Amino acid sequence: IMFKLIAIDMDGTLLRSDHTVSQYTKDILKKFSDNGARIVISTGRPLNAVIHYINDIGIFSDDDFVICNNGASIYSIKDFSPIYSNYMDINICKEIFDLGKSFNVAIEAFSHDFSIASEKHNHFDNGDNNDLPLKVHYVNTSDDLANFDNLFKIMFVADEDKINEIIPLVPSQYIDNYNAIHSLPKIFEFLNKDCGKGFAIANLCNILNIDINHVVSFGDAPNDVDMIKMCGTGVAIGNAYDEIKEIANFITKNNDEDGVAYFLEQYLS
């Protein structure tokens, strides 16, 4: 079957290590797009950190969509308005904020066009991700969070060793009742339970009247698990975490070898 929708994670998957998309990848995606397949970027990033790539890839039209915030939001590319949003309960965000404070980690939370941070140490200011023009509001206490609504996700940010150390200490109620994911080495984040890239793709398939069995998804990290599982074809990038490789239908080359385009090109031939 021809893929009707191609869902692609960004960091560690579509993007090379230098955060670029190769011309080869753009050419292959264009071939599929020209043949009627929908290309959907599906990322943990907020919208503002994706728009530049949508323009750069250059194949998207007003009829296309992008999945952001690990599936908590879907935007129409036409005017970047949200067509789906899955917000968290602000009281839960306050509890998680206090938990993060007790672990002595930085805390960040995201809405559509701003983020909240507990301290100037902002994951997106330290050179990892300098393409994020989001307004940041700095808050000191969980009570300050009450001034903000429409938060999609709240996350702990620290160096990798510290994050690995605190994950086992997070009370089980937050692990069991929320989608708690170690999305990047320095980040552990919380979203609503019915929230994830796979759920967002299922939603989009309903809107577009596409059978999810005709969807191929590409990912590399724990926040891609539900997407790889739920789509008809799940492809792990060569540099993916083992837990992704174990559940994927196929494993392709790594992100610096254009694994997404490599797999799709094999599929064409």
Closest CA to 184 of 218, 158, 217: 158
pLDDT value of residue 121: 60
What CA–CA distance (Å, rounded) separates 158 from 103?
10
pLDDT value of residue 109: 93
Q: In the chain, which residues have pLDDT < 50?
A: 125-130
pLDDT value of residue 132: 56
The 3-state secondary structure of the chain reads CCCCEEEECHHHHHCCCCCCCCHHHHHHHHHHHHCCCEEEEECCCCHHHCHHHHHHHCCCCCCCEEEEHHHCEEEECCCCCEEEECCCCHHHHHHHHHHHHHHCCEEEEECCCEEEECCCCCHHHCCCCCCCCCEEEECCCHHHHHHCCCCCEEEEECCHHHHHHHHHHCCHHHHHHEEEEEEECCEEEEEECCCCHHHHHHHHHHHHCCCHHHEEEEECCHHHHHHHHHCCEEEECCCCCHHHHHHCCEECCCHHHCHHHHHHHHHHC
pLDDT value of residue 129: 47
C-alpha separations of 86 from 4, 199, 232, 236 in Å: 25, 11, 24, 26
pLDDT value of residue 133: 61
What CA–CA distance (Å, rounded) separates 157 from 34?
40
Is 74 in contact with 66 (CB distance < 8 Å)? yes
pLDDT value of residue 149: 83
What CA–CA distance (Å, rounded) separates 162 from 169?
11
Is 119 in contact with 156 (CB distance < 8 Å)? no
pLDDT value of residue 1: 52
